[in-house]
Structure 1
């Protein structure tokens, strides 16, 4: 079975939760972080809520074109992103794919034969990303970029396995877990 790191996009790998995907740029440490976890034997998968689509601020075509650009940019830097899964709905749509609901992860699990217990979720939202980690039984790393600092302590019964100042710290936590699992 494969192990994966499920990355949030906005506020985690770049931009903020208000960034429209055509304006998205990776944080400086994002592509090196993705490359490092790939070299540790994980596949990189992005799971993103994009209610901007439902609100009409971005079309699905613009989203797909922007994702193609991000994939091209990552490939040029020799970084492999296996897939990007998107929920284009508003919360009021009550869909089954909006994080923290696990449907998109289950799609990825089926497509790539992923062992969720050996995987990680990295994101800036306690409710959405750490809630997702909890729902799938993966380790959750809250990065204090994007909404990370503002969401601290606001969601009861959900706590990350690690809190990271940035993506470099998040990758260090993953490395330490990989090394620790080899020592056992």
Structure 2
């Protein structure tokens, strides 16, 4: 089965204005995100997270603390019958110009290699142009969650209001609904 990659902040949880989620207490689920992940999990899709987390590279958050937030996120999803196979994150700042920081597709390629995934048959759901650029660079179908209307004219992109709408679109497109 093809896989679905999700950005974290702005797709799964609310973004913090001008800052970073640095504690589990600050992590606030977006409405319907747990249900959308459960819906996709129940249909057999492999779900992964690919997220830039420059807060680590900036010294705002320790990598262990970020991994703890991700552990609690995965645990909370599991309590609700939803499953994320693995979280991939880039801890680097934009200045490092690493291959894993979106818009570069390094995290996606790493996930594909580690898990035997076909990215050309997979989806990336994100809320930014850099997410869509990473999807494009990896040969994936991108679904944009936000108001960047200019992205609608690009090949292989769809726009959704939220993660649940994106999940339903994927299931309809795949003939699973």
TM-score, normalised to structure 1's length? 0.86
Partner of 2:51, secondary structure, is strand
Which whole-Å deviations, capped at 9, do the CAs of 1:109-160 have from their partners, x for residues lacking one? 112111112110000002x11111111111100012xxxx2x442x7x8566
**Residue 133 of structure 1 pairs with residue 132 of structure 2:** no
Report how many aligned residue pairs link the two structures: 173
**Contact 1:3 / 1:41 at 8 angstroms: preserved in 2?**
no
Q: CA RMSD in A?
A: 2.1
Partner of 1:72, secondary structure, is helix
Show the counterpart of 2:59.
56
**Contact 2:20 / 2:55 at 8 angstroms: preserved in 1?**
no
Show the counterpart of 1:9.
8
Give unpaired runs (5+ residues) of structure 1: none
**Contact 2:135 / 2:142 at 8 angstroms: preserved in 1?**
yes
**Contact 1:130 / 1:159 at 8 angstroms: preserved in 2?**
no
**Contact 1:121 / 1:130 at 8 angstroms: preserved in 2?**
yes
Give unpaired runs (5+ residues) of structure 2: none
**Residue 27 of structure 1 pairs with residue 27 of structure 2:** no
Show the counterpart of 1:115.
118
Partner of 1:121, secondary structure, is strand
Give the 4+ runs in structure 1 shifted more than 2 A.
157-160
Which whole-Å deviations, capped at 9, do the CAs of 1:65-120 have from their partners, x for residues lacking one? 11111111111111111000010011111111101211111111112111112110
Q: What is the CA–CA distance in structure 1 between the aligned matches of 2:96 and 2:30, rounded to whole Å? A: 31
Relative distance call for 1:79 and 1:176 in structure 2 (3 A) is same
Taking the TM superposition and a 5 Å limit, the aligned residue runs for 1:72-151 are 72-126=75-129, 128-144=130-146, 149=147, 151=148
